[in-house]
Homo-oligomer: A and B are copies of this chain.
Amino acid sequence: MVPKTHPRYRSLLNRDRIVEAFESGVLAKGGMIAHGRGETFDYLLGETTTPEALNAIKVTAALMVLSKNPVISINGNSVALAKDEFVKLARELNGKIEVNLFYRTTEREQKIKKLFEEDVKSGITLLGIDEADKKIPGIDHLRGKVSESGIYTADVVLVPLEDGDRAEALVKMGKTVIAIDLNPLSRTARKSTISIVDELTRCVPLITDYVVEYKKMDKLQLLKIVENYKNDENLKNTLIHISKRLNSMEI
């Protein structure tokens, strides 16, 4: 057990969660290596929500409140790290969460379905497993499977830890794609409409807080929050943020 007073408590706790999820069959091997990649980026960000990330989080919350059919896409890593946080966010919206696995196997689908059993009983709609009979154009069979009432017809899709191909294909379908990705240089971050460069367990509760707040505002106020956001500029500023940190560090 990592003591709560450890300066990197959250990072080490997340690592434990990833190992547990791998052992229980929720996470694929590739997901462990991917988590390590994310750890480094978070370390370089200073394991904190940057002003650039907060900017993207606010725009995300406004877009999700404005959306007619927002869907939260989840995979093995995001379930391992922040399942409860995603459920809370979904409850403030239309309750839709869609399972969207990079390495899709029936076993992993069922393991994840089981994890959401109680949430489904209390109102969450878990899509992407039994009724995933639509397809994202240009993405191969298993990776492209989506639900009609979920990602397929969503206007806004939140994709934490998504791969570049799929993020790009969703943008091509005309959707507003919001990525959560610790790598500001990834294809996912570059191709998505909005990219939140932040760690899941830090940023998802923040999105939820802003959603709660923004639900009290009118459409014009929300559009004002969204209108001046430029994703490429925000990503560039994130790179500058990391770059400055590296330059100022003592050996």
Contact = CB atoms under 8 A, between A and B. Distances in A.
B246 A239 contact: yes
A206 B15 CA distance: 34
Interface in A205-251: 232, 235-236, 239-240, 242-244, 246-247, 249, 251
A244 B34 CA distance: 25
Contacts of A247: 239-240, 243
B242 A246 contact: yes
Contact of A239 (B22, B35, B37, B249): B249
Contact of A40 (B18, B29, B183): B183
A30 B242 CA distance: 26
Nearest to A32: B32
A142 interface: no
Contact of A185 (B39, B183, B190, B249): B249
A235 B22 CA distance: 35
A19 interface: yes
Nearest to A15: B33
Given A246-B242, A251-B235, A251-B236, A33 B29 contact: no
Interface in A163-218: 183-185, 190
Nearest to A237: B251
Contacts of A15: 33
A29 B19 contact: yes
A36 interface: yes
Interface string A34-77: 11111111011000000000000000000000000000000000
Interface of A: 15, 18-19, 22-23, 29-30, 32-41, 43-44, 183-185, 190, 232, 235-236, 239-240, 242-244, 246-247, 249, 251
Q: Which 8 A-B pairs have the closest CB atoms?
A: A36-B36, A40-B40, A33-B36, A32-B32, A243-B246, A36-B37, A243-B243, A232-B251
Given A23-B29, A243-B247, 8 more contacts: A18-B33, A19-B29, A33-B39, A37-B40, A43-B185, A232-B251, A235-B251, A239-B251
18 contacts: A15-B33, A19-B29, A33-B39, A34-B36, A35-B36, A36-B36, A36-B37, A36-B40, A37-B37, A37-B43, A39-B40, A40-B41, A185-B249, A235-B251, A239-B249, A242-B246, A243-B247, A246-B246
